[in-house]
Chain A
């Protein structure tokens, strides 16, 4: 079953074919992904939803090159990442992929600014000062740049993480339950920021969530169950997502 996010643009940011992932052996064998084919159009905000154990996190980890798939191929911006060795994969990650995690995952020893610049520092590259300025002011972090993570609120920390993900102008930003640790107001703030980065900056975003409210900010919602894609919603609302989820038996 192939589901393609229907977008008029033929421009594809992330694409996977016949993706399989198996954990464990013998009696503990779990097929987390069973031949998933999926494409994500550039400049779209896609949410992946599904009940626990549906394989949504595994799919994201494989797409981001964090976990190795057992079969199939993954293309990010035209590069087949399933054929890359660890170093090349790491370089691909820091150049073409951005991450926003549930638990923020900022380096506690570095200031907000150093955290934002970290991927570029690791690559040994200079940052685009104007772009940094744009991002920082958009995210409202201007007077927080010299603070260490523990001096920031949860929402602020997540905004720093978003800035870090956007700074490299990656092919795609992956979000792993980015609002899971935030209250609903700050969560909404972060989601709006993500959505506007798609609208205004043309950023491709793939987000895994089980929160119908969060998913409603996306352009498209992909539904997963038992390691397979089982449906999709365009321009979702909280109600349509909830309904679709209950249809999955979640």
Chain B
């Protein structure tokens, strides 16, 4: 049978292109997902593990274990200090040790003050992870090395003198001058990469710590040549215990990285889970397309299979012949898919690390898992999908070969079993979907979707042909090709269902993603907008200064500032909060959630407030409460946990009797202003840092007075955008697979009817009419499938989004109408396009030729 399968693949290779492409794309998606995961881990190794990657062993104090044992108050039991370092150094088999410690210092370079993280370089080159770009590593107490990124940003060069400052626990300030002797390579470590990194000698580090006991994050160990690292763990443990450290871990760098990565990514990799769900969906679609295509391939070969049976092929042999074909196609396509994924990932990473300097440490990692799993999955899915058509092939009667013409209609009445099973699947799946949506459990919802969709497809032959003929009757317009087309569409319900199913799958998936993503984005956007209500807040506590009009004007013209609301204090709440007022128009500009702009009689408050209303006294609490007007204002409670109560001037004037002119006077010496700023979305984090100091200098306030949600907001926005990008990628994949399915089934179904079409031609149907008939049929089937798919997909999308977003709170339903209309248009166009080539072929054939051909 292998010979026959090979011969089939070779001769009909064009018929297998579609299947191969579908499997390839599905597999590539899965492989890429796994590679993203592996690459992310590898990348984190390059960054998180950069401090100890070169060591033989890494020792870490274990706070969790200390906490579990009730020792969390006794820091000596889990922190690594000088004693521990000495004990380890004295252990047999250890040739070098290094304590990795970080300390925060202020840095005065010229006239400006910055924050920096300071650490020491290991004396032993085997443990040193600080890479010099130029100059030398600091040795003496008056030398320092600065990392390249910040040296450039802060304009620090070799030979500059920095003043490093710290404050001890006792409150004593320490200042040390140090000359820049080296520029080091920038850190990739996400824990330290966000601030300037300084490397100093041991003596300066000690001096800056004010004689305090050092507290090492890790101690790295270099072992003597040929030492078995696992054997060294026990004596190291004994040494640590003798130094009084009870809770610790001794790991190899790889073990430590695994633990750090797990801690850094919250133990579970949400992104990979989401991607895997998408990859699974892609594979299921692939399976359905494969099943469809193989079914048509089998139908085309009925005669040939019957001949094989006549000549003595057992049923089993027929089945294995089909399955061998599927196996070969699956294997080849999966291998191609993995290769494709590797190529794409390598390309993407190359582009990423070449264009984004912060991403230069991103590494491609093709794990064994990411090759084997997709290969297996692709092959197995193809095999499973081919199983049903193979069974059909098996039941071909030998006598079918002896019939002069192959017009044996494929029996395709929906069997009772199929209807019952389909109904059960739909009910069970819908139940699970609804439960998942209510409980906010994506896994249950996903399972529900996976159950119900095949159920819907099983029932497809019940409703698809009927819908097609109903719509066909409505739209045929009484022309002969129109009538024939809608009759054709019902005459072979199985064929109609098969063709429509491929498109239904694709459209359902696409619209599910569109509606789901749109809703998720709207929901997330609202949730985030509510939490990070204002981009930047300038709040110089303790000062009662008013900003001059000139300062505000300067602020508004800073690059990146899009809006400004100056909040003026107008009163005090019963609870003692300072209450502010601002121009309603300006508030509308700077507040990120349209639902949370305070209207007339409203006061916008932080999430810490409870109740319906807030009592506000006009004027300053300490001085003239009695004289001030009191008003009950309706609270507009936000998710934000630090927000000054704010109202519009319209409210302040009506309810409190204060205007911008009278407020300052009423507040007396406790007047004060807070500024809210709207910042351009496109700013990078580096731009934001610059903007922060620009704002501070424009207003002549300290930098710490400039805060707000934009940093966090930006991080979340990046995540949402990335997810949407991935979803769009998946969308393209699903559309591609589905379109292949449509084109394939349509062209094969037309091919299947060569005789019939020739007969119609013989009976007087013109070429144009034939083409029109086939086009009408394609459009009918395509349109109906797309319409049903959009309905089904929207339902799935909303339920899916609800189950994902359940954890984030209320869902904002948002349907991308335009995109959905686009999907229907594209589907109909694709169906039309898919009918063109076969229709041309059918029309070209002379009637006699078609009738004679088999």
Contact = CB atoms under 8 A, between A and B. Distances in A.
A90 B312 contact: yes
Interface in B308-358: 308-317
Contacts of B854: 103
Contact of A109 (B11, B303, B314, B315): B11
Contacts of B303: 105
Contacts of A109: 4, 7-8, 10-12
A105 B8 CA distance: 16
Interface stretch (B399-407, B506-514, B535-543, B779-787): B399-407
A118 B311 contact: yes
B401 to A, nearest CB: 6
Contacts of A73: none
B302 to A, nearest CB: 13
A183 interface: no
Contact of A87 (B12, B304, B315): B315
A176 interface: yes
A146 B310 CA distance: 23
A176 B404 CA distance: 11
Contacts of A67: 399
Most A-side CB within 10 Å, residue of B8, B304, B311, B401 = B311
Interface stretch (A26-34, A37-45, A119-127, A241-249): A119-127
A108 B399 CA distance: 19
B155 interface: no
Given A108-B304, A122-B311, A66 B399 contact: yes
B307 interface: yes
A212 B457 CA distance: 55
Given A109-B7, A109-B11, A109-B12, A93 B310 contact: yes
17 contacts: A67-B399, A87-B315, A90-B309, A90-B315, A93-B310, A93-B311, A93-B312, A99-B311, A102-B404, A107-B308, A109-B4, A109-B8, A110-B7, A118-B311, A121-B3, A122-B312, A122-B317
A107 B310 CA distance: 12
Interface in A57-98: 57, 61, 66-67, 86-87, 90-91, 93-95
Contacts of B311: 93-94, 99, 118-119, 122, 164
A-side interface mostly: helix
A105 B406 CA distance: 13
A123 B311 CA distance: 10
Contacts of A94: 311-313
A68 to B, nearest CB: 10
Nearest 6 Cβ contacts at the A-B interface: A94-B312, A109-B7, A109-B11, A122-B313, A93-B312, A105-B307
Nearest to B317: A122
Interface in B62-120: none
Given A61-B402, A101-B401, A108-B304, A91 B7 contact: no
Contacts of A61: 399, 402
Contacts of A101: 401-402
A94 B303 CA distance: 18
A131 B315 CA distance: 29
A95 B10 CA distance: 29
A87 B310 CA distance: 12
Contacts of A102: 404
Nearest to B400: A66
Contact of B314 (A90, A107, A110, A176): A90
B398 interface: yes
Contacts of A145: none
Contacts of A93: 310-312, 398
B307 A107 contact: yes
Contacts of B404: 102-103
Residue among B7, B310, B315 with max Cβ neighbours from chain A (10 Å): B310
B401 A108 contact: no
A67 B4 CA distance: 26
A119 B312 contact: yes
A114 B314 contact: no
Contacts of A99: 310-311
Interface size class of A (residues with CB under 8 A): 20 to 34
Interface residues of B, number: 26
Contacts of B304: 107-108
Contacts of B314: 87, 90-91, 122
Given A99-B311, A105-B401, A109-B12, 19 more contacts: A66-B310, A67-B399, A87-B314, A87-B316, A90-B309, A93-B312, A95-B312, A101-B401, A101-B402, A105-B303, A105-B307, A107-B7, A108-B11, A109-B10, A110-B7, A114-B7, A119-B312, A121-B3, A122-B311
Interface string B9-36: 0111000000000000000000000000
A176 to B, nearest CB: 6
A176 B311 CA distance: 14
B452 to A, nearest CB: 37
Nearest to B312: A94
A65 B283 CA distance: 43
Interface in B397-417: 398-399, 401-402, 404
A66 B3 contact: no
Contacts of B402: 57, 61, 66, 101, 176
A61 B316 CA distance: 22
A106 to B, nearest CB: 8
A86 to B, nearest CB: 7
A87 B398 CA distance: 12
A59 to B, nearest CB: 13
A166 to B, nearest CB: 13
A66 to B, nearest CB: 5
Nearest to B305: A107
A86 B399 CA distance: 13
Contacts of A119: 311-312
A184 B313 CA distance: 33
Contacts of A110: 3-4, 7
A102 B404 CA distance: 9
Contacts of A103: 404, 854
B308 A86 contact: no
Contacts of A105: 303, 307, 310, 401
Nearest to B854: A103
A21 to B, nearest CB: 12
A176 B304 CA distance: 17
Contacts of B312: 90-91, 93-95, 119, 122-123
Nearest to A93: B312
A114 B309 CA distance: 16
Contacts of A108: 11, 304
A173 to B, nearest CB: 12
Given A90-B309, A93-B312, A108-B304, A66 B7 contact: no
Q: Quick one: which of A99, A109, A164 has the most chain B CB within 10 A?
A: A109
Interface in A124-178: 164, 176
Contacts of B399: 61, 66-67
A183 to B, nearest CB: 15
Nearest to A120: B312
A93 B399 CA distance: 13
B45 to A, nearest CB: 52
B4 A107 contact: yes
Contact of A86 (B4, B8, B11, B315): B315
A102 B401 CA distance: 11
Contact of B308 (A66, A122, A123, A176): A122
Contacts of A95: 312
B199 to A, nearest CB: 71
A99 B308 CA distance: 11
Contacts of A164: 311
B588 to A, nearest CB: 72
Nearest to A67: B399
Contacts of B10: 109
Contact of A66 (B11, B316, B398): B398
A188 B222 CA distance: 94
B798 to A, nearest CB: 49
Contacts of A90: 309, 312-315
Contacts of A107: 4, 7, 304, 307-308
